Structure 1
Amino acid sequence: MNPTTPRTILVVDDNATNVRVLYDVLSAAGFRVLVAQSGESALNKLKVILPNLILLDVMMPGIDGFETCRRIKAEPSTQNIPVMFMTALSDTADKVKGFSLGAIDYVTKPLQQDEVLARVNVHIRLQSLQQELQQLNQTLEQQVAQRTAELSTTLAQLKESQLHLVQSEKMSTLGQMVAGVAHEINNPVVFISGNLQPAIYYVQDLFGLIELYQNRLPNPDEELANRIETIDLDYIREDLPKLLASMKEGVNRICNISTSLRAFSRTDTATQIPFNIHEGLDSTLMILGHRLKSTPKQPGVQVIKDYGDLPLVECYPGQLNQVFMNILSNALDALEEHYQHQVNEHSQLYPGTIRIWTETLDEEWVRVHIADNGPGIAKEVRSHLFDPFFTTKPVGKGTGLGLSISYQIVTEKHHGKLYCYSEPGQGTEFVVEIPVRSPMVLPSKSEGLTVKD
């Protein structure tokens, strides 16, 4: 309340002389004075205006002061207004009754003007101080709540940043390790691959020579005939080329894995470089190849690829591969969990399928779709998919950072957009959109992140 605003006092007394005396004294002291000559009249006035203090006579016709006070304190709008009784009663029991009803003080009749004014000033001052204290408490509580919220937000951001750094360091270390393994594999594989084809030629020459000997010497002696029968020369002639062809296929497979490992773990430069998106997808699928194959407990997952004609995209290849890895890993997790649920429920089994297709948008953007035929995602879960630390996986099987980091990589690092389309029982589709050339302006979070119903 403005300190210059006059304080209002309601005088409730059926004695006109007392009312006149109090009115003159309080008005002269700068108070605004309202008058009621009965308890009923006072209660009606309180419905319209709330005074700062009530001077209430005890003995009045109709409802007395005690009942009037009880009703005042029973109403939420008036219960905090100080009430000071005026009475000629001196019995202690009456005073105790008044205090028990919520009165703050007594003045006895006949009234002493100086005493009344002094007591009124004290209680008005106490009320003012109490209101100031309440306001200070409210302000302090608001400041504490605001500061607590700020600290909580800062702590969450620090925790998120720490885990992101740990995740980035793990990916960097993994990339270096994978690159080293790929390099070490590559050397002996190149050696074997380089010598395998000459070995095939040598074997062909030896078989040709043996055939020439057999044509020239169709009747070998007993020792040579026994040796030919022991080693089963005809079987060796038939099987050895197949064995060498199988070895060559295995070496080619190792070469492809080594190439995919190097492509997936490539170290990002300080600036974005042109990159073949399809190469990143294929290298990621190669890394996850063991999870695509069938096992005694899990059928294989079919991957259907429908690649469009994409230009090279300016990006951070290693980080973009990490996005593909997170999305594909989550899809495989969902398919594995869905299959196990079908087995447990003895329901019809559906093979897992992941479909990947790519396309260009106005020659300015590329779009990558990764969809599975898993159980789908509920709406309440979809709304938190990209929140840090949110996960539906059991403890120890997920940090809740994979999709959050993917969101940051797509939107902040590549100025792109990330969408999720899903319905329970209808599978899930993630869509990654990034510009062919990196723009200078970052999109807002609402522009970059979309979870579709």
Structure 2
Amino acid sequence: MSSLGQLVAGVAHEINNPVNFIYGNLSYTSEYTQNLLKMLQLYQKEYPQPSARIVNAREDFEIDYLIEDLPKILASMKVGADRIRDIVLSLRTFSRLDEAEKKQVDIHEGLESTLLILQNRLKHKADHPTINVIKEYGTLPLVECYPGQLNQVFMNLLSNALDALDMEMKKSDRTAKNLAITIRTQVTDNNSVAIWIADSGPGMSEDVKKRLFDPFFTTKPIGKGTGLGLAISHSIIVEKHGGKLSCNSVLGEGSEFAIEIPLRQKIN
């Protein structure tokens, strides 16, 4: 988990500078392009009967199409740059390596950054439909926690939920069951925050549930899982945050993981 955080932080740092360079110059490029196009249009207005050489060049270069399409291309590039900046921000929020100590954070911000990183697995593809993410967020205060480690727990649980939905899609007898992940949050009566992450996958048997948090236990094929993710997540929640991590699952009806951590950590 620590290595994953370091890798993510490193990637975000390396991407951030060139993206900021591109983003910062797009506004100038757009302004210069608009000025050039205005000058071109002014020439067309002042010299409505150009020479044959200019007419031929205008047709060869498809100037009328260029005038229409170039601003659209620049706008599309800005949308792409905005998207990359959002992803970099989410990567940095996810890793939070500069926040190794306890800090008061917005839990929903951590969930959203993790979802954005996993967006490619959620959206519609040729081999599987869109996976719906249902958010039932309560009103939460800032929560004192170790944000980098907590975000890694979110990543693990959401990745496992997606793996479960992949298994559901591959079932030969699969019905028209909706593929969805539901995330709920609320403050509990005992000054804690609760986060539930549920999937509409195949669920688990009682035998699997009993061994769920055992190190190296996995139901995934060889090479697909180490069996350490849930064990480490359990340690982060229980030992590091003094909280609880549990699972409620019925075979054939999906699974739900429940996280509960105090709003304020005890002073060591």
Alignment TM-score, normalising by the size of structure 2: 0.92
Which residue in 1 is equivalent to 2:117? 287
Cα distance change of structure 1 residues 431 and 286 upon mapping to structure 2, 3 Å threshold: same
5+ residue gaps, structure 2, are: none
Which residue in 2 is equivalent to 1:135? none
Q: Deviations over 1:53-97 (max 9, x none)?
A: xxxxxxxxxxxxxxxxxxxxxxxxxxxxxxxxxxxxxxxxxxxxx
The alignment-based identity, stated in percent, is: 56
Which residue in 1 is equivalent to 2:261? 434
Q: Distance in 2 between matches of 1:173 and 1:381?
A: 28
Q: Does structure 1 retain, via aligned residues, the 8 Å contact 2:99–2:148?
A: no
Asked if 1:393 is matched to 2:220, the reply is yes
Q: Distance in 1 between matches of 2:94 and 2:100?
A: 17
Pairing partner for 2:249 from 416, 422, 434: 422
Asked if 1:243 is matched to 2:68, the reply is no
Pairing partner for 2:60 from 230, 249, 267: 230
Letter in 2 for 1:336: D
Residue 309 of structure 1, CA deviation: 2.2
Cα distance change of structure 1 residues 437 and 186 upon mapping to structure 2, 3 Å threshold: same
Cα distance change of structure 1 residues 340 and 428 upon mapping to structure 2, 3 Å threshold: same
Q: Distance in 1 between matches of 2:18 and 2:99?
A: 29
Residue 440 of structure 1, CA deviation: 5.5
Pairing partner for 2:86 from 253, 256, 272: 256
Which residue in 2 is equivalent to 1:413? 240
Q: Deviations over 1:270-322 (max 9, x none)?
A: 64111221121122122222222333323332222232222111111111111
Cα distance change of structure 1 residues 334 and 244 upon mapping to structure 2, 3 Å threshold: same
Letter in 1 for 2:185: T
Pairing partner for 1:348 from 139, 152, 175: 175
Which residue in 2 is equivalent to 1:64? none
Asked if 1:380 is matched to 2:238, the reply is no
Which residue in 2 is equivalent to 1:187? 17
Q: Distance in 2 between matches of 1:268 and 1:422?
A: 36
Letter in 1 for 2:128: Q
Asked if 1:337 is matched to 2:167, the reply is yes
1:328 alignment partner, SS class: helix
Q: Does structure 2 retain, via aligned residues, the 8 Å contact 1:268–1:317?
A: no
Q: Distance in 2 between matches of 1:270 and 1:426?
A: 38
2:260 alignment partner, SS class: strand
Q: Distance in 2 between matches of 1:225 and 1:270?
A: 65
2:197 alignment partner, SS class: strand
Residue 349 of structure 1, CA deviation: 3.9
Letter in 2 for 1:409: I
1:439 alignment partner, SS class: coil
Between the two proteins, the alignment pairs up a number of residues equal to 268
Pairing partner for 1:197 from 9, 24, 27: 27
Asked if 1:369 is matched to 2:196, the reply is yes
Residue 363 of structure 1, CA deviation: 8.1
Cα distance change of structure 1 residues 369 and 286 upon mapping to structure 2, 3 Å threshold: same
Residue 268 of structure 1, CA deviation: 6.5
Which residue in 2 is equivalent to 1:173? 3
Q: Does structure 1 retain, via aligned residues, the 8 Å contact 2:202–2:253?
A: yes
Residue 242 of structure 1, CA deviation: 1.1
Cα distance change of structure 1 residues 383 and 362 upon mapping to structure 2, 3 Å threshold: same
Which residue in 1 is equivalent to 2:151? 321
Letter in 2 for 1:400: G
5+ residue gaps, structure 1, are: 1-170, 442-453
Letter in 2 for 1:309: T
Letter in 2 for 1:406: S
Q: Deviations over 1:341-376 (max 9, x none)?
A: 1xx33x434342112122222482211121111111
Q: Distance in 2 between matches of 1:223 and 1:270?
A: 67
Which structure's relative contact order is higher, taking Cα pairs within 8 Å and 6+ residues apart? 2
Which residue in 2 is equivalent to 1:278? 108
Which residue in 2 is equivalent to 1:267? 97
Residue 334 of structure 1, CA deviation: 0.6
Residue 269 of structure 1, CA deviation: 5.2
2:264 alignment partner, SS class: coil
Letter in 1 for 2:144: E
